Each structure stands twice: as C-alpha cells, then as structure tokens.
C-alpha cells in the first residue's frame, strides 16, 4: 500500500490488473529519481545525450515519426448527453468509450514499468490548485511531468488531504496511429490516453487535465480554465500590470510571456508567470486573479534565437529536454532559426539532407522548468496568484484584424473571444495555414459545449464590477507582398503599453463598431522603421471585410443552436447593424 487514500490505491490496483506491468513504481518527484530515469533512458536509447559542455544536463528524445503533434481527430469528450460535449468536440458515449479504450489497455504494460505520478496543478498551497494522478508506462512522461508540474510526495500529501484528484491513465501502447485515442470523462474527472508519447497527448496534466477537465470543473465551481499566458509588465515607475493572453497554439504565447523590452522603451521589465495556461478566479473583492497551473514550459523550438526570444534561448541552454530537434556534429541541438551551427543529423536521426525537409521538426519542443527562465516571476508560486488588469485575445490573421482593439464591455469582449480565428500551425496534426475559428484559443481544449462555455464567461459580469478590460491583438498582418506590417516580438510591448494606458484611462481612442482602436500616434514607434501609412493600416478597419466577418461569426455562432446564449448573438447583431 503506497497511499492512505483507498480510492487512489484501488484505482492503481485496478489499472495494474488491466495493464499487467512487470513493476509498479510510485514517483517521489526527487532530483535523484529524475537523474536515475535519465540514466536508464540514456542506456536504452530513449534519450540521447547532447553536448554537456555547451548544454549541461540537456538531452534529446526522438519520438516515433508518426507521433509528433496533438491529434484532435482522435481526441474525445465522453459525456452521457452528446450535446454537452457540443459541436466543438468529438464525442463518444462513456460506456462505449471505456470499452473501446480498455480493450487497448488490456495487457499493454507487459514487460514495462508502470509509473504512478501524483501531481498538483498550481502552487501546492494554493486554494485555486487542483491535483491529479497520472499512471503511465513512459519514463519520458515522468521526467517531463517533473519539469512541468509540482509532482511527487507533496502532491500526494495534498491529494490525501483533498481526497479528490483527476485520474489520468496513459500508455504509449504500440504507437500505431490506428490504435491511438485520447479520451476525457468530465463527469468522472478522468482521462484515458493510449498510443502516443507526444506532449499534449501524453503529459496529461497539461491540455487534458488543466484545460479539458479543468474547464468542466471550473464551470461547476465558478472559475475559468483558459489557454492563456500570464505576464507582468513593470513600467519604469515600478507599477506592475498583469495581463492574461489567449492565442492559438504556436502563435507566440511563449515569446510574449518572456519578451525583452526594446531599447527605446528603457526601464520596462517583464515578469513571466506562465506561457500556456491560466486558471482565473474571482477573489473576495471581485477582482479576477490568475494562477499558472504548470511549473514548466513545453515550447516550440524552431524560431527561438537571441533576437526573437533571448530569455527562452538562454533558458534552454541547460537542464532541458529537447524533443525532435536536429543535432550538430558537435552534439549541440539545432533547429531552423538558430543562428549558429549546422545540422548534421535531422530530427529522425538521419544524416541531414535538405531533400528530406526541415532538420528539426516544425513542432519540435523544449521542456524546461519555469525557474530556468531569466524573467521568472516569483509570484508564479504565490497561492493567491496575481490580479489581472487585461485579457487579450489574438490570432494569426494576414488581413482584417487590426494591430489592437478594445472591447466595449465584458459581454462584447466575450464575443471578441468567441470570434477568434487563426491560421493553423504545426502544433496539431493536419493542414497548416488555413483560417479556422478558435474561440478563446480553446477550440481543441474546451471540455464542454462552447455555447455553455460562453454563457459561463458572460455570467461573470453579474458577479463583479471589477472585471478586466478585454482586448484583441494581431501581430501577423501582412501586405500584398506577404511582408509582415508589424515587427512583432519585443516590439509588441509598445502595443501592451497602449493596453495598460487604456486600463488606466490615460489615453483616448477611436470608437468604431468593432471596438476602440488606437490613434496611431498613441502607439510609440520610436526607433521603428514603420511608415505612417502602415500605422494607419494597422489601426483602422475595412468595413466591407468586417461586415463579411461578422456575418460569418453569426453563422458560426448559430451552429451552437439552443445552447448559444442570446446575449452573445445580440452583441454580434448589434455590431453587424453598426457596420451597415
Ligand atoms: C501547446 C499547444 O503545446 O497549444 O501548448 O499545442
Ligand atoms: Mn498551448
């Protein structure tokens, strides 16, 4: 017996009976355990060592080439009533889903060790944190969970006190995409995932628990589980504003969360709380507070360099697990966008040959503890989290969406979030570059019907008059020649500054049907090579395009039928009317 909590012990016993591992190991979360697992994975080839002089304690894992991204078409929400999962999810009946996936789990751990990982999402002593236990046969998952979550003995103690936890069962199975499934049972607070070792499919604390299951828990308990970075912006005067930003996968959340202020904005400092997930709660004063349930980053590697994200570049110089990057002849990790070195072997371990495509997989990743980040905020460990001054939505849009605009009210902001659309990226298996709707950047991650989710968002207005303002940004506007209009990266602080000025009522704005847009002169462009015409284009709207957009938003919303809150439809109708 490894725990006093009989519900946990009996579940572990039951899983062992089904999966038949050779051994069961309860993870303690110690550094010694981490090191021991690294050694054994180096010995069996699951990990390769990287140049330890240049990259101390850095290792490379090469995944199965068919297993390099999340698989939304194999991801299911299993609710008794199909409409509770909503048109935004794949659905399966819970009994049928258990039967189907249990058949795959039957005996799947023979010859393997079964690891039991108690973990806590959020600071261990935070009232806002929630715990889970992941059972897995992948030591790669264990070491990633060690970097990404607070796992081990302390988490187990909390679970024994809370007497409740999310159950996550994972096996890499045989990695056959035909036998790969990621299933969620919100009513049971449980997850079952088989056939993939990739991050979002296998590190169950992240997307499966902290977003899909947590969004369901959050709705029941009156909070929000969101696909948002959390960052503190400290002005030269020393005031810190915390903002939470939701962008679809691989749209630069990690870069924004740790951006380096440009030289022409001296005295600004950035504090990173989180780069992917925020849990938002109203405090007793009605202020929205955020914690990051994670304690590490699982970020996209390609494109990371001194210019785009120096903090990330520095933080992955040590104690990092790389997945699917290329390697130089000196054993250093290499990826597209890295300014030094050359790939000798590609992400599949073959001699690099440009004819085979990119050297690093476009969705190659780093896993690293948040404390490695030079801009790490100690408040990431604060039990009460941080107060949020602004919520920022965004997407990757070549056209249409201006650089920034502000919603006119909370309800309007919910519509702005619900209308988020973005060009797809390599973070999910499938076509890249097509525009799809990704409300609140939660399309792949909301564990229930979006109609009910929007109603839940809207309900916050009745609970507080101190809610943050809501904004929308687009760093990705292009001209006809396909060139970006805005420099992005650290320069985005110029836009965030306007957002803070708006929150503090320090600057006026232009009212348009879609929201408040900046006067171009109110975005500081000192030292930027950007023309007045470009700034004008970035801070204005094309009414005809926006009419078409709002019509398409209306059609999209209608697809939620009865579950669509009237208040949201009304927001959309009003804007459309104003555009006409
Ligand atoms: C991620 C994703 O890995 O959103 O964070 O895909
Ligand atoms: Mn993400």
The best mutation among 68, 200, 324, 362 to test binding of ligand 1, ranked by most ligand atoms within 8 Å of the C-beta, falls on: 200
Q: How far is CA 105 from CA 93, 182, 195, 355, in A?
A: 18, 12, 10, 39
Task: Give the tokens for residue 286.
Answer: 């009605």
510 Cα–ligand 1 center, Å: 35
Q: Are 45 and 135 in contact (CB under 8 A)?
A: no
Catalytic residue set: 251
What is the 199 CA–ligand 2 centroid distance (Å)? 10
Q: Which ligand is nearest to the CA of 297?
A: 1
In the DSSP assignment, the letter for residue 168 is E
pLDDT digits (tens, 9 = 90+) for 221-258: 999 999 999 999 999 999 999 999 999 987 889 999 99
**Closest ligand 1 atom to Cα of 227:** 4
Q: What is the DSSP string of 6-69?
A: HHHHHHHHHHHHHH--SEEEE----HHHHHHHHHHHHHHTSSEE--TTTSTT-EEE---TT-SS
Rounded Cα–Cα distance for residues 448 and 460 (Å): 18
The terminus-to-terminus CA distance of the chain in angstroms comes to 69
Asked whether the beta carbons of 447 and 494 are under 8 A apart, the reply is no
Contact between 328 and 335 (Cβ < 8 Å):
no
Residues measured by CB to lie within 5 Å of ligand 2, the ion: 249, 276
**What are the residue boundaries of the structural domains of the chain, listed by start?**
6-46+74-222, 226-295+378-579, 297-372
pLDDT of residue 81: 98
Return the pLDDT at 312: 97
The tens digit of pLDDT for each residue in 260-313 reads 999 999 999 999 999 999 999 999 999 999 999 999 999 999 999 999 999 999
- Mean pLDDT, rounded, for 54-67: 97
The percent of residues in the chain predicted with pLDDT above 70, rounded, is: 100
Counting atoms of ligand 1 from 1, which one is nearest the CA of 428? Answer: 6
pLDDT of residue 1: 56
Decide if pLDDT at 170 tops 60.
yes
Which of 530, 538, 525, 553 minimizes the C-alpha distance to 404?
Answer: 538
- Which of 69, 70, 144 gets mutated to test ligand 1 (max ligand atoms within 8 A of its CB)? 70
**Predicted local distance difference test score (pLDDT) of residue 128:** 98
The Cα–Cα gap between 521 and 507 comes to: 11
CA 232 to ligand 2 centroid distance, Å: 19
- In words, the CATH class of domain 6-46+74-222 is alpha beta
Whole-number Å distance, alpha carbon 534 to ligand 2 midpoint, is 31
Across residues 29-37, what is the average pLDDT?
Answer: 98
**Closest atom of ligand 1 to CA, residue 200:** 3
Give, in degrees to the nearest 5, the angle at Cα 229 between 238 and 296. 100
**Sequential DSSP letters for 104-148:** HHTTTTTTSEEEEEEEEES-TT-TT-EEEEEEES-HHHHHHHHHH
pLDDT tens-digit map of 86-106: 999 999 999 999 999 999 999
Mean pLDDT value of segment 22-41: 98
pLDDT of 240 reads 98
Q: What is the mean pLDDT of the chain?
A: 97
- Cα-to-centroid distance, 433 and ligand 1 (Å): 16
CA of 396 to the centre of ligand 1 (A): 15
**What are the respective helix, strand and coil percentages of the chain, to the nearest 5?**
35, 25, 45
pLDDT tens digits along 343-386: 999 999 999 999 999 999 999 999 999 999 999 999 999 999 99
Q: Which ligand is nearest to the CA of 299?
A: 1
Quick check: 401 pLDDT over 60?
yes
Residue nearest to atom 3 of ligand 1 (CA): 200
How confident is the model over 425-451, as pLDDT tens digits? 776 777 777 889 999 999 999 999 999
Residue 392, pLDDT above cutoff 90? yes
Q: Are 361 and 351 in contact (CB under 8 A)?
A: no
Probe target for ligand 1 pocket from 202, 298, 302, 425, with the most ligand atoms within 8 Å of CB: 298
CA of 296, nearest ligand number: 1
**CA quadruple 198, 203, 208, 211: dihedral sign:** negative
Compute the average pLDDT of residues 412-420: 98
Question: What was the pLDDT predicted at 92?
Answer: 98
Closest atom, ligand 1, to C-alpha of 444: 4
What percentage of residues in the chain have a pLDDT greater than 90?
96
CB 78 within 8 A of CB 90: no
Write out residues with Cβ below 6 Å of ligand 1: 70, 199-200, 249, 276, 298, 427
CATH fold, domain 297-372, is Phosphoenolpyruvate Carboxykinase; domain 2 (2.170.8)
What is the rounded CA–CA span in Å between residue 505 and residue 517? 14
Tell me the CATH class for 226-295+378-579.
alpha beta
């Amino acid at each position: 017996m490894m725990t006093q909590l009989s519900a946990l012990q009996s579940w572990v016993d039951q899983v062992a009976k089904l999966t038949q591992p050779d051994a069961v190991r309860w993870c303690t979360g110690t550094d010694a355990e981490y090191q021991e697992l690294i050694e054994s994975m180096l010995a069996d080839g699951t990990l390769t060592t990287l140049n330890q002089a240049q990259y101390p304690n850095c290792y490379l894992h090469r995944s199965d080439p068919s297993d390099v991204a999340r698989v939304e078409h194999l991801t299911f929400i299993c609710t008794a009533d199909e409409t509770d999962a909503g048109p935004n999810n794949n659905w399966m009946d819970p009994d049928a889903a258990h039967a189907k996936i249990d058949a795959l789990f039957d005996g799947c751990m023979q010859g393997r060790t079964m690891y039991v990982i108690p973990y806590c999402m959020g600071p261990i002593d935070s009232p806002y944190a929630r715990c889970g236990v992941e059972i897995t046969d992948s030591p790669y998952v264990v070491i990633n969970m060690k970097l990404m979550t607070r796992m081990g003995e302390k988490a187990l103690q909390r679970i024994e006190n809370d007497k409740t936890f999310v159950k996550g069962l994972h096996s890499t199975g045989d990695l056959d995409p035909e036998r790969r499934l990621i299933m969620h049972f919100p009513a049971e607070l449980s997850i079952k995932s088989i056939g993939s070792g990739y991050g979002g499919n296998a590190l169950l604390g992240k997307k499966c628990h902290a977003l899909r299951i947590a969004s369901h828990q959050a709705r029941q308990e009156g909070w929000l589980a969101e696909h948002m970075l959390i960052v503190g912006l400290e002005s030269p005067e020393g005031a810190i504003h915390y903002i939470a930003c939701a962008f679809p996968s691989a749209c630069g959340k990690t870069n924004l969360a740790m951006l380096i202020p440009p030289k022409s904005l001296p005295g600004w400092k950035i504090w990173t709380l989180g780069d992917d997930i925020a849990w938002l709660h109203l405090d007793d004063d009605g202020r929205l507070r955020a914690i990051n349930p994670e304690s590490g980053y699982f970020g996209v590697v390609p494109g990371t360099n001194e210019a785009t994200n120096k903090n990330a570049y520095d933080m992955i110089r040590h104690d990092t697990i790389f997945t699917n990057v290329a390697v130089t002849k000196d054993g250093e990790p290499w990826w597209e966008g890295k300014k030094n070195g050359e790939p000798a072997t590609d992400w599949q371990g073959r001699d690099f040959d440009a004819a085979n495509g990119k050297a690093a997989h476009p969705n190659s990743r780093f896993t690293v503890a948040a404390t490695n980040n030079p801009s790490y905020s100690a408040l990431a460990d604060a039990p009460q989290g941080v107060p949020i001054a602004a919520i920022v939505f965004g997407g990757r849009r070549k056209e249409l969406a201006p650089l920034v605009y502000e919603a006119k009210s909370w309800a309007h902001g919910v519509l702005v979030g619900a209308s988020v659309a973005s060009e797809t990226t390599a973070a999910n298996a499938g076509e890249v570059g097509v525009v799809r709707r990704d409300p609140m950047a939660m399309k792949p991650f909301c564990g229930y019907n979006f109609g009910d989710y929007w109603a839940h968002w809207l309900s916050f207005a009745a609970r507080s008059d101190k809610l943050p303002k809501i904004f929308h940004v687009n760093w990705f506007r292009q001209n006809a020649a396909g060139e970006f209009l805005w420099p992005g990266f650290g320069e985005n602080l110029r836009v965030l500054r306007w957002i803070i000025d708006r929150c503090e009522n320090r600057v006026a704005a232009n009212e348009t049907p879609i929201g408040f847009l900046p006067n171009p002169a109110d975005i500081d462009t000192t030292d930027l090579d950007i023309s007045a015409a470009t700034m004008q284009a970035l801070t204005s709207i094309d009414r005809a395009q926006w009419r078409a957009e709002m019509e398409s938003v209306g059609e999209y919303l209608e697809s939620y039928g009865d579950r669509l809150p009237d208040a949201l439809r009304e927001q959309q109708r009003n804007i459309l009317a104003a555009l006409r």
